Amino acid sequence: MPKPAANDAAPFAKSPSPAEGRADDGAEQTQTLRVAAARVRRRTALDDQKRSFLRMVSHELRTPLNAVIGFSEIISCELYGPLGAPQYKEYAEMVRQSGLKLLKLVNQIVEIARLEGHVTDLDAGPEAVDGAVEDAVDQLGADGPARGVTVRMLDAAGLPAVLADGRGLRTILINLLQNAVTHSPDGGEVVVSARLAHGSMVEIEVRDQGEGVDSADLVRLIRPFEQGGSTLTRSGEGAGLGLPIVDLLSRAMGGGLKLKSKRGEGFSAIVSLPAA
């Protein structure tokens, strides 16, 4: 007697009822929601851990550095009387300057860790471009005048304000100005200009008269700890974190960063931010 074919049993297989199909779909959706909720909880827990870590690192590194800077300044000023040999005063000032450089590096590392980890507390609002540039120039201190480098702001009074976090905007401008002053020749000029682009964005450009870099190196400069030139030939100080911080901050505020340069023709950094 011939055996029934394998598919002969198909008519006798019980097909799921519409109610059972709906139940399966509901269970599947519930499981998907549970997985998504668990993923959100893990992400929130990681963000909390990042915030705690950054607070700890910020406090544990900045506190002793502030003590080193403060006490070395007291010593270099001979606040409580003469030190004796003049070399002591000179060495105390060197300690203070080194402490300031190290504090700047710590601040930059903490800032870029915050931005890369999306642990930011940006409060966007209307900010005047010319006022922010003036604040940034004031915070530069003697970096520019010490080498005869001047910063010139082209008229931006007629431009609309930008929609940006006040501290973040000033951090962007300070980093761009420090980078431009550092790479400017003695007695050079740094020009800051702003313009309305595409109707809804404001572009702020910082241009120096330095040696510039090859256009092929521009993409590399956005990566942390990268600088123009090779590590053996570069003469500028810094860890190469200024431009990456500017890039991350501008993107976090709905804008972006563009770089333009050619060897021997200076360097331009253009930040675009939404018009308020």
- Which band of pLDDT confidence, cut at 50, 70 and 90, is reported for residue 176? very high
Residue 18 confidence (pLDDT): 56
Tell me which of 112-121, 123-132, 227-236 is least confident.
227-236
Distances (CA, A) of 159 to 133, 152, 252, 274: 13, 17, 22, 12
Q: Higher-confidence residue: 61 or 91? A: 91
> Please, what is the end-to-end C-alpha distance for the chain in angstroms?
87
Q: What is the pLDDT of residues 156-165, one digit of tens each?
A: 777 888 999 9
What gap in Å lies between CA 44 and CA 51, rounded to an integer? 11
Q: For residues 208 and 236, is the Cβ–Cβ distance under 8 A?
A: no
Q: What is the pLDDT of residues 193-234, one digit of tens each?
A: 999 887 789 999 999 998 888 888 888 888 776 655 443 334
Helix (H, G, I), strand (E, B) or coil at 243: helix
Q: For residues 212 and 263, is the Cβ–Cβ distance under 8 A?
A: yes
Residue 197 confidence (pLDDT): 86
Q: What is the pLDDT of residues 254-275, one digit of tens each?
A: 999 999 998 888 999 999 999 9
DSSP for residue 254: T
Q: For residues 116 and 248, is the Cβ–Cβ distance under 8 A?
A: yes
Percentage of the chain modeled with pLDDT above 90: 29
pTM of the predicted structure, to 2 decimals: 0.68
Question: Given the DSSP bridges, would you call strands 256-261 and 267-274 parallel, antiparallel or unpaired?
Answer: antiparallel
What average pLDDT does this structure show over 27-39? 79
Residue 145 confidence (pLDDT): 73
104 contacts: CB under 8 Å, gap ≥ 6: none
Q: Which residues pair with 207 in a beta bridge?
A: 191, 268
Most confident stretch, 57-61, 114-118, 173-177: 173-177
Percentage of the chain modeled with pLDDT above 70: 78
What gap in Å lies between CA 109 and CA 178, rounded to an integer? 16
Residue 3 confidence (pLDDT): 52
What average pLDDT does this structure show over 224-245? 61
CA atoms within 13 A on the CB side of 60: 6
What gap in Å lies between CA 274 and CA 198, rounded to an integer? 10
